[in-house]
Amino acid sequence: MFDRRRFLSLSAASLAAVSCSEKPAAGSAPELRIGMDLTYPPFEMQDKAGKPDGVGVKIAEALAAKLGRPLKIVPMQFTGLIPALQTGNIDLILSSMTATDERRKSIDFTDPYAFTGLAILVQKNSDIQSIDDLKKPGRSLTAKTSTTGQIWITDHLPSAKLVVFEDEASCVLEVAQGRADAFIYDQLSIFRYSQQNPDTTRGLLKAFVEESWALGVAKGNDALREQVNGFIKSFRDEGGFEKLGAQYLSEEKKFLESQGIPFIIR
């Protein structure tokens, strides 16, 4: 978060087959293997032909071109990204991942390329108006597994009943059908889900926690991290992020700016 989430059902076999490059010829620059969860439109997704697409994919393509390396996108579930980076199966994570202190214990992060925050999806007729209302006893909450929404609930609302799912669609359904009082997720997603389900949900879009997204890098790989930081700066200076916002997020950009909320990628 018009159709940000198409609630994709992607099989492991189809994901495993996705790649943005052929095997490089001997003696050429090594592949830049970037791990992504391709179920997060419009940032990381597949197009109608099954090829990787979205804001994150375009950033990855520009980054690989800047570094002079062929790109290989390695699709996987979000929960598998950090282990894959730690074991050397990928070189970078570019998957709308929030750079948190907890994750920094396991991996390093580049400079941020996007700025967002946590927001709340509730039932349309709910009495919930802010995060403070979720602190009342007996609240039932939902979150996507391994996200900052889940972490925040665990840390700050330990008495709440929490149900987690691998996909956002299930979280939205929990709220829409009244099984959960609220779904905590990133601001842009909450906006889109509330737009997609106006008869059953509404979004509390003022972020109660600010976050930033960055690329994940293996601990100690400072050379690659600095290369990516250089790319982020030049891509921003050249208007690359602004162009991607216009291409993939024009409606969201217009809405956020109308609310006095800075646009996510800038």
Per-domain residue ranges for the chain?
12-113+214-258, 116-210
| Cα–Cα distance, 12 to 16 (Å, whole number) | 6
- Centre a 10 Å sphere on the Cβ of residue 156 and count the other Cβ atoms it contains: 13
116-210 folds as: D-Maltodextrin-Binding Protein; domain 2 (3.40.190)
Does the domain at 12-113+214-258 match CATH 3.40.190.10? Answer given as yes
- How many residues are listed for the chain in this entry? 266
pTM of the predicted protein model? 0.77
For the chain, 266 residues long, give each residue's pLDDT as a single digit of tens: 333 333 333 333 333 334 444 444 545 789 999 999 999 999 999 999 999 999 999 999 999 999 999 999 999 999 999 999 999 999 999 999 999 999 999 999 999 999 988 999 999 999 999 999 999 999 999 999 989 999 999 999 999 999 999 999 999 999 999 999 999 999 889 998 999 999 999 999 888 999 999 999 999 999 999 999 999 999 999 999 999 999 998 888 887 778 777 778 87
3-state helix, strand, coil split of the chain in percent (to 5) is: 35, 25, 40
Domains 12-113+214-258 and 116-210 agree in fold: yes
